[in-house]
A and B are shown apart, each in its own frame.
Chain A
Amino acid sequence: MVMSRIQKIPVVEEKKGNPLARVFDDLVRFCRSRSLFILHYCTGCGAIELPPAMTSRFDMERLGIQPMVSPRQADILLITGYVSIKTLKRVILTYEQMGSPKYVVGICSCTVNGGMYWQSYATAKKLDEYMPVDLYIAGCMPRPEAVISGLQKLMDRIKSGEADSWQDYYQNYDYYLGNQQKLFGEDWQTPTDIITEAKHYELMGEGTLGEHTRLLEQHQNPLEALEMRLGHNIKEPIE
């Protein structure tokens, strides 16, 4: 139950009597819901249903949904199928680099509970243990209609402001980090410093810091800007 854990961020009471005070927020929320850039991280077989959903047959662009190629530009992370443990590392790096508000959509039963890979040693079973998931579209695999109707549900939730589970990642970072450490070992570290980010954007919650983040701080390499050098390998890739 992701949603119940999110603490409401205290809102400074605005002056009463100004009917325009909320107009701008509403406009931004509306635009957010009508313009969704998806990063389709094609992990499993479910990815095959996306091309028909995007191209002439079902045309997602009429809903304002567009594919984008880099995580920085994207709003939605589509996980289209089973995530192996090695893939999950990349998914988490990708997720952390996206700009908030960001939404994760798990397509396929495999992201819900492992699906037919339940007994596999190499796949992560439940996606929402590692990152907050806004929407699951179950099926093995769901048809493009199901994908589009699922995304329409997400659009409604964004419009009404309910889809805020991205805040959960900041507010309960300790929980997610704990699960990640369980899987990847204790020296797991991503290049994005979530705690500093949470402090900067005032998204700290009760669960942001905890035993797992303490563990992270013990071995964390300080993040430095990449050195620009020619003819030399930049540090080894995260493995």
Chain B
Amino acid sequence: MAPIELLIELTLMPLIAFIVGMMMVLMMRRIAAKIQRRIGPPFFQPLYDIVKLHGKRTQVSHGLIHDIGIVMAMGGYIAAETLLPVPGMDGIAEKGGLITLLYLMMIPSLGLALGVGQCANPNGSIGIARALTAMLAYDIPLVIVIFGVAYAAGTTNLVEIIATQQAGGFATWGVIEMPLLAIAGLIAMHASLGKQPFEIYIAPAEIATGPMVEMSGKYLGGLFVMQCFQLYTTSVLYVSLFLGGGTTWFDFLIKSFLVLAIPVSIAYLFPRYRTEDLLRLMWKWPVMLGLIGLAFVM
């Protein structure tokens, strides 16, 4: 591939991810509104929020690490987008592989931990401690699921995994071949989104949005951007692993929005767990399902 072509892909992929991600945020808020019998925000609301936050006059920074932390939180996901194949564009997915992707998806939480640490706000510290605990909880089933899929496919190359699923048609989709892993993956994905019942680290009523408590202006705006990327990355990863990726943009987007709609609609029906309950739940059910699924694959 010509370097210039690659360069275009590497810029386009995060950009598309951002736009799709904003629509996912919109969908999330609309679903929440529908469940609560409200009308919900207007179409461009996520964009208004982000522009407004970046356009604030006073921007309160708590120091250099605070700035870097936010950049890491966004940058981890932006790098992850280039490893996620979308219809017509592979980026550097072939060279990166699943394991790199998994690593990159952990960077945002670590960046956030750095940034929040400098804010010296007790609510923020509690929030970030919980966020890292939650990461510990959902990463174990996630790793089992990803290992299972990679083992079944015989490769960690996402492009190949998608290609085999598309070549074999619907019957070879991950969700048909490995249903247990797919269910475990869905639960892990839900937890990694940090939505209720797994919303232990945002918890507005208890620790005042945890990591976000001291963020204002463009720092909060950066986190809003990060949320767009987060929704996109998790749902597209799931679609690539279990739903055969997308042959065209149309079915790709439909699949990713549908996948995301499942945890989001569950989220707004439930209150949340406590930290230790989350840990117990995540290490029991999805891990058990994942291990049984893994045994079937082996």
Question: Residues on A close to B: CB < 8 A?
Answer: 27-28, 30-32, 34-35, 55-56, 59, 61-62, 64, 68-70, 72-73, 75, 97-101, 197, 201, 225-226, 228
Contact yes or no, A201 B120, CB < 8 A: no
Contact yes or no, A35 B45, CB < 8 A: yes
Query: Any chain A CB within 8 A of the CB of B29?
Result: yes
User: Please, could you name 13 A-B residue pairs with CB atoms under 8 Å apart, sorted by A?
Assistant: A55-B38, A56-B37, A61-B41, A62-B41, A64-B45, A70-B214, A73-B212, A73-B216, A97-B60, A98-B216, A99-B58, A100-B56, A225-B120
List B31-69 residues whose CB lies under 8 Å from chain A: 33, 36-42, 44-45, 47-49, 51-52, 55-60
Contact yes or no, B60 A70, CB < 8 A: no
Q: Once the chains are docked, how many angstroms separate the CA of A72 from the CA of B211?
A: 12
Q: A72-B215, A99-B56 in contact; A62/B208 too (CB < 8 A)?
A: no
Contact yes or no, B216 A72, CB < 8 A: yes
**Chain A, Cβ-Cβ closest to B37:** A56
Q: Once the chains are docked, how many angstroms separate the CA of A98 from the CA of B57?
A: 11
Contact yes or no, A59 B45, CB < 8 A: no
Contact yes or no, A64 B36, CB < 8 A: no
Chain B interface size, as a band, is 35 or more
Query: Any chain A CB within 8 A of the CB of B110?
Result: no
Contact yes or no, A32 B38, CB < 8 A: no
**Which of B36, B47, B48, B213 has the most CB atoms of chain A within a 10 A radius of its CB?**
B48
Contact yes or no, B56 A31, CB < 8 A: no
Selected from B29, B41, B204, B217, the residue in CB contact (under 8 A) with A99 is B217
Q: A31-B52, A31-B55, A35-B49 in contact; A73/B38 too (CB < 8 A)?
A: no
* Nearest-Cβ distance from residue A81 to partner chain B, whole angstroms: 21
Main secondary structure of the interface of B (DSSP, over half): loop
Main secondary structure of the interface of A (DSSP, over half): loop
Query: Any chain A CB within 8 A of the CB of B209?
Result: yes
Minimum-distance CB pairs A-B, first 10: A28-B55, A72-B216, A31-B51, A35-B48, A99-B216, A59-B38, A35-B52, A100-B57, A31-B52, A100-B58
* Nearest-Cβ distance from residue A234 to partner chain B, whole angstroms: 9
**Chain A, Cβ-Cβ closest to B58:** A100
Q: Once the chains are docked, how many angstroms separate the CA of A56 from the CA of B268?
A: 14
* Nearest-Cβ distance from residue A21 to partner chain B, whole angstroms: 16
Q: A31-B51, A34-B48, A99-B59 in contact; A56/B36 too (CB < 8 A)?
A: yes
